[in-house]
């Protein structure tokens, strides 16, 4: 990171932790395919299995439950397409890799509505599950845009009464709040390395042992015959190191930031959120203008609704929450991480006051 830049976009990608970088560099210096039987291959296999054990340990799961993928989106695709059910109930605020995959899977798909804080309607879920064949329910543990934490254990309790399976996208939660596979009692869980200080290019789907799962990628017996393809040894070992590194609590910094944002609307502030995430809007100022102004001032932040084209699209998350139009089009996301300092927060707050005052001046005139 350049010294004149302040990085506050950890929900998009968190910078690589030193512990992850160290083991990755060591792995890159070694030759060997983890499926080969010679010494080099066995060494590569040992690296992969050590990482699998570290991730399982961090989750309170068994190593054999962890299937490595190329990232969270692939893991979500595997969960949605690989589960043998006729229908899906998906929260309206899920990541596009769940919603779009579900809609293209050939299954019957119904969106679970949410309230103005982004919390799923549990009564709706109960009624919907009572009126149809066996389903897969997908509700993320923490939302990537707002940081709002979902009542996943309550979702599981309802699903169990109706014989449904539950998948939870925990990509944003791991490394920020406690995530335990057994405590949540879900059937499938999605993870991604680069959201918690690991490398881009590694993720995992954690699958309960008695859950049947079809393949997306064929052609080899890797990952317990559930995901073909040579394992990315360096990325996987970095994932394991980042997961083993534990959580970093930046809630005091997040609260300090929010207290100082004059005239701002903090979305989801009435419910439990990730300790690092602030989704905020200043009514009357659009997100794209704010993003450009902060970028020019040296701050990396995002709009939760930024799309792959680099433009700012309308957020399906904020729309599902029923928020006013100027909040939907004006919301930006500030997400802190393992290397965020008090000075970073103070610089952002000072810049926000200057930028918002400058952008509001023409409106006042």
Are residues 254 and 359 both part of a single domain? yes
- Please state, rounded to an integer, the average pLDDT across all residues of the chain: 94
**For position 212, which CATH number holds?**
3.40.640.10
Are residues 238 and 285 both part of a single domain? no
Backbone angles phi, psi at 95, to 5 degrees: -65, 150
Domain end position, chosen among 191, 213, 244:
244
Query: How much is the pLDDT for 312?
Result: 67
**pLDDT band, very low/low/confident/very high, at 248 (cuts 50, 70, 90):** confident
**How much of the chain exceeds pLDDT 90, in percent?**
92
Query: How much is the pLDDT for 365?
Result: 57
Model confidence, pTM? 0.95
Are residues 191 and 252 both part of a single domain? no
* DSSP bridge partners of 194: none
Query: How much is the pLDDT for 304?
Result: 63
Q: Is residue 1 part of a domain?
A: no
Are residues 261 and 225 both part of a single domain? no
Q: Is residue 144 part of a domain?
A: yes
Q: What is the mean pLDDT of the segment spanning 309-318?
A: 77
- Catalytic residue flag (residue 307): yes
**How much of the chain exceeds pLDDT 70, in percent?**
96
The CA distances from residue 42 to 20, 344, 352, in Å, are 21, 44, 53
Query: What are 128-185's pLDDT values in tens digits?
Result: 999 888 999 999 999 999 999 999 999 999 999 999 999 999 999 999 999 999 999 9
Q: What is the mean pLDDT of the segment spanning 118-130?
A: 97
Closest CA to 172 of 136, 207, 199, 145: 145
User: Of 84, 183, 307, 313, which is the active-site residue?
Assistant: 307
Are residues 188 and 168 both part of a single domain? yes
Dist CA 283 CA 350 (whole Å):
19
Query: What are 209-229's pLDDT values in tens digits?
Result: 999 999 999 999 999 999 999
Are residues 193 and 268 both part of a single domain? no
Checking if the pLDDT of 311 tops 90, the result is: no
Domain count, the chain: 2
Kind of pairing, strands 165-169 and 135-138? parallel
Are residues 259 and 235 both part of a single domain? no
Q: What is the mean pLDDT of the segment spanning 303-314?
A: 62
**pLDDT band, very low/low/confident/very high, at 309 (cuts 50, 70, 90):** very low
Query: What are 65-85's pLDDT values in tens digits?
Result: 999 999 999 999 999 999 999
Query: How much is the pLDDT for 93?
Result: 98
Q: Which domain holds residue 186?
A: 18-244
Are residues 68 and 86 both part of a single domain? yes
Dist CA 106 CA 80 (whole Å):
10
């Amino acid at each position: 990171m350049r010294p004149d830049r302040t990085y506050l976009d950890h929900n998009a990608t968190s910078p690589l932790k030193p512990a992850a970088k160290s083991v990755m560099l060591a792995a890159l210096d070694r030759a060997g395919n983890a499926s080969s039987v010679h010494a080099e291959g066995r060494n590569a296999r040992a690296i992969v299995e050590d990482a699998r054990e570290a991730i399982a340990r961090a989750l309170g799961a068994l190593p054999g439950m962890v299937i490595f993928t190329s990232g969270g989106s692939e893991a979500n695709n595997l969960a949605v397409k690989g589960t043998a059910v006729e229908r899906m109930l998906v929260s309206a605020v899920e990541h596009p890799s769940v919603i779009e995959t579900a809609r293209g899977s050939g299954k019957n798909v119904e969106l679970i509505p949410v309230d103005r804080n982004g919390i799923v309607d549990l009564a709706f879920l109960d009624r919907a599950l009572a009126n149809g064949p066996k389903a897969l329910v997908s509700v993320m543990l923490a939302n990537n845009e707002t940081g709002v934490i979902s009542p996943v254990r309550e979702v599981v309790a309802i699903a169990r009464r109706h014989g449904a399976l539950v998948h939870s996208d925990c990509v944003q939660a791991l490394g920020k709040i406690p995530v335990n596979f057994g405590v949540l009692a879900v059937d499938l869980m999605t993870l991604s390395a680069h959201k918690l200080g690991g490398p881009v290019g590694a993720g995992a789907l954690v699958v309960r042992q008695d859950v049947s799962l079809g393949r997306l990628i064929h052609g080899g017996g890797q990952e317990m015959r559930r995901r073909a393809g040579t394992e990315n040894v360096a990325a996987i070992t970095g994932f394991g190191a980042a997961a083993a590194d534990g959580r970093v609590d930046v809630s005091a910094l997040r609260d300090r930031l929010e207290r100082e944002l004059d005239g701002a609307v903090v979305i989801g502030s009435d419910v439990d959120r990730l300790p690092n995430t602030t989704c905020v809007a200043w009514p009357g100022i659009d997100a794209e203008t704010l993003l450009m102004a902060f970028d020019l001032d040296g701050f990396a932040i995002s709009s939760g609704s930024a799309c792959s084209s680099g433009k700012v699209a309308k957020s399906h998350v904020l729309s599902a929450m029923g928020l006013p139009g100027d909040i939907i089009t004006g919301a930006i996301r500030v997400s802190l991480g393992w290397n965020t300092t008090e000075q970073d927060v103070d610089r952002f707050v000072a810049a926000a006051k200057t930028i918002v005052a400058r952008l509001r001046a023409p409106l006042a005139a």
